[in-house]
Chain A
Amino acid sequence: MGLLERLTRRRDVAVDPLVADLRAVLSDDRVRIDGAERALMAKDASVFGGGVAGPTCFPTSTEEVQAIMAVALRHDSAVVPRGAGTGLAGGAIPLGAPIVVSTGKMNRILEIDAVNRVAWVEPGVINLDLSKELRPHGFHFAPDPSSQAVCTLGGNVANNSGGPHCLAYGVTDAHILAVEVVLPDGTAVMLGGLDAEPLGYDLRGAFVGGEGTLGIATRIAVRLTKNPPAVRTLLLSFDAVRDAAETVSAIIADGIVPAALEVMDQRITVAVENFVGAGYPIDAAAVLLAEIEGLEDGVDIDAARLEEIGRANGATEVRRAQSDHERELLWKGRKTAFGAIAQMAPDYYLHDTVVPRSALADVLEQVYEISERHGVMVMNVFHAGDGNLHPLLLFDAREEGTLERVHAAGAEILRASLDAGGVLSGEHGVGVEKQRFMNELFTDADLDHQNRLRRSFDPFCRANPGKVLPMGHSCADIQALRAVPAEVWG
């Protein structure tokens, strides 16, 4: 630690009783207030700014999280939980200089219980680390967001995260049996349970996807999914994006529920090929990556039917992965798509909407039209089986007026999705990104009831204020926008 930092730190401790109290319940080194830490905590993986972090705490136990909440209560301070900061909707961006509670040091897998098919984990455990740990036991954790190599299970719970394989298995919510939560009043409660129908209201279900506005998860019981005995991975090529989208609708309509159905357009496949060489055809307008899991005979039956449906809907080439290596390569391409894009433009904005599967082709056409009209480059890579679109807008924020055009195009894409009978978000959440659109999906009464749920957990809007509900439907605005003396945390 440099002399300057030490001096600054001593002065801050002297002037800031909040920091002193936090250090008293944790330790000096686990309450950080240096500029670098606060700059890091002010952002997530979204394009949104405006975050101002207060002190960042690194608790190691439920009791320490409770102690932080008690200090927050005494100081009338807000609290924002934080995992890996990979969120794309600004959910982890601290508004109004709240205490940031990092789950980074709560990263233990506590128990793997094969009889109950459950693993107890701390919130800072990384998604992929859990599945790797489970592999020798014959299980995995089904939700597999693209960020799974770095994102945490606490973050997955907060965002009710999805991923390609959620088509067959459901999103995070379906895989969380119980969660211990420290409520904003400092109480620790166990929500849900290992039985089929835990007693009382489904507060576990209400908590999952709460975007950190309902409390902080400190222990999580995740459901273990048995590894499939057989897997078939197929790559179908099409001359038109519409053909790929219609194939997806036709597969679902036929009664096949593959583990994953992912569509990538040509701009994506070209980028991916240049990046990792996944073996995608670069002359096809779109490819469909399909995966079928199950027992040996059934996967072949479904794969054959899927190929047939693909050909009937215009597939120009149908390929089955012949080895684990080929299969892994095909998935590596899909999972590194966003990394590949980062090579192509300084900035990108990844959208997330859901439409009925039958509307996919039409809405995609509108997405291309809207982007072109606003002069923004768009690429599409998405969870087609769920109707979950992820238009990726590429831009250079240094060019004047570009960000405005990107946001204008994004707003039109959202409205096109809503007009098609869809919703605002399939897996990224609302955060600060989509608050202002909530009124276009929900009535005032609907939003009022969502706020009743929020207030039940957090009567004073102390947990991650300023998120999810639009201003005017939440008490959050009062807390979030409370003036913070610039010289303290500005």
Chain B
Amino acid sequence: MSTLTIDDPVLLGFAEEMGAEGPVTVVGARTRWDVGGAVDPAARELTAPAGIVAYAAPEMTVQVRAGTSVAELEAELAAHGQRTAVPARGGTVGGAVAVGENPADVAARGRLRDAVLQVRYVSAEGELVTGGGPVVKNVTGYNLPKLMTGSLGTLGLLVEVILRTNPIPAASRWLSASEIDPGAVVGELYRPASVLWDGSTTWVHLEGHGPDIDAEHRRLSGLGGFSEVDGPPPAPDHRWSVSASDALLLPGSTDGDVLVAVGAGLAWADRPQPPRPVDPGVEALSARVKQNFDPSARLNPGRKVGH
């Protein structure tokens, strides 16, 4: 008898609805619907079950169904002084995990993929599968949560996840200055929540205990005149995933507006990121993964991970 046998009628109902045959896709809030390309219109549209199943604030974990809105999860956690690594940009929790994007303040909240402790999904064969476990530290068996995070629903349709939560720091402050070397800012500070740079202005987000923020603010003043601001500027539309060193080159080499999350391996620009090269060996390995998890290619047909 497995301790993980699933008896949640809502999840079982979704598995039954999905069945074992025919192309299917799962629709969240469509906030990232274009990632990975268009889904074959022949695919039957399903909606993942919603709701927060269990929230153990003292354990810093939350069990939440995939169709739950990110806003609902954020509100529930905030009421207990906590948050997660799910980016705060609307949509559903399942959609966020399926897309796998990190929060802009990844240094403070951690990577989304590291926050996904357990996944439950319905396989191509229509069976409920659990990967990972409910506790904050676990190396029991192969890491299915990592594989599912960012897989765009091509290996299984997510129905529920357990996420690690984190305390919301006591205080928060945004600072800004012009013509400051963003590399020097990152070097000067211990662990800023985020440092943004558009090629001329630098925005710094400090979080933590109030006196620590004051001290970090004073350190920054040694570099130039930082003043307190309400928040960061709106980011351009297109997200780029680039190494920290390459990101620093973008403002000087890309047309239009650019905003770099300094040190985070992320940037935003007015135009989409050019296609990134794919190693043929990695592509072959990825194709084997897809074939093994979805032999009949029924899960989100048309959508491609890594293109």
Contact = CB atoms under 8 A, between A and B. Distances in A.
Interface of A: 113, 115-117, 159-160, 162, 166, 170-171, 173-174, 183, 187-191, 193-203, 205-206, 208-210, 226, 228-229, 249, 252-253, 255-257, 294-298, 301-302, 354-358, 383, 386-388, 418-419, 421-430, 434, 438-443, 445-447, 449-450, 452-457, 459, 468-469
Contact of A193 (B135, B139, B243): B243
Interface in B120-159: 123, 127-131, 133-144, 146-147, 149-151, 155-156
A191 B282 contact: yes
A206 B146 contact: yes
Contacts of B135: 354-356, 386-387, 421-423, 426
Contacts of A440: 1-3
Contacts of A298: 208-209, 211-212
Contacts of B146: 173, 202, 205-206, 208
A216 to B, nearest CB: 14
B113 A445 contact: no
A257 B101 CA distance: 24
A99 B268 CA distance: 48
A191 B306 CA distance: 12
Contacts of B68: none
B139 A199 contact: no
A442 B101 CA distance: 28
6 contacts: A160-B139, A205-B143, A294-B190, A295-B209, A297-B212, A387-B135
Contacts of A160: 139, 143
Interface in B275-307: 276, 278-279, 281-286, 288-289, 291-293, 305-307
Interface string B165-191: 011000000000000000100000011
The interface size bin for chain B is 35 or more
B20 interface: no
B26 interface: no
B109 interface: no
Contacts of B144: 449-450, 453
Interface in B210-265: 211-212, 215-216, 241-246, 248, 261, 263-265
A83 to B, nearest CB: 16
B140 A174 contact: no
A252 B56 CA distance: 12
B106 interface: yes
Given A209-B143, A295-B216, A183 B285 contact: yes
A419 B3 contact: yes
A383 B243 CA distance: 34
Contact of A388 (B101, B137, B248, B285): B137
B110 interface: yes
B243 A445 contact: no
Given A200-B278, A206-B143, A209-B143, A449 B129 contact: yes
B42 interface: no
Given A190-B279, A193-B243, A257 B137 contact: no
B241 to A, nearest CB: 4
Interface stretch (B45-53, B57-65, B88-96): B57-65
Given A203-B282, A354-B137, A424-B140, A196 B102 contact: yes
A443 B139 contact: no
B219 to A, nearest CB: 10
A486 B2 CA distance: 39
B139 A427 contact: yes
A294 B191 CA distance: 9
A429 B139 contact: yes
Contacts of A249: 58
Nearest to A228: B190
B58 A450 contact: no
B114 interface: yes
Contacts of B1: 440
B28 interface: no
B143 A421 contact: no
B130 A194 contact: no
Contacts of B73: none
Interface string B189-214: 01100000000000000001101100
A438 B107 CA distance: 35
B100 interface: yes
B4 interface: yes
Contacts of B128: 445
Contact of A449 (B261, B288, B293): B293
Could you say which of B140, B212, B245 has the most chain A C-beta atoms within 10 Å of its C-beta? B140
Contacts of B111: 174, 196
B292 A428 contact: no
Contacts of A115: 183, 244-245, 248
A425 B241 contact: no
B108 interface: no
Contacts of B278: 199-200
Contacts of B142: 206, 209-210, 450, 453-454, 468
Contacts of B266: 195-197
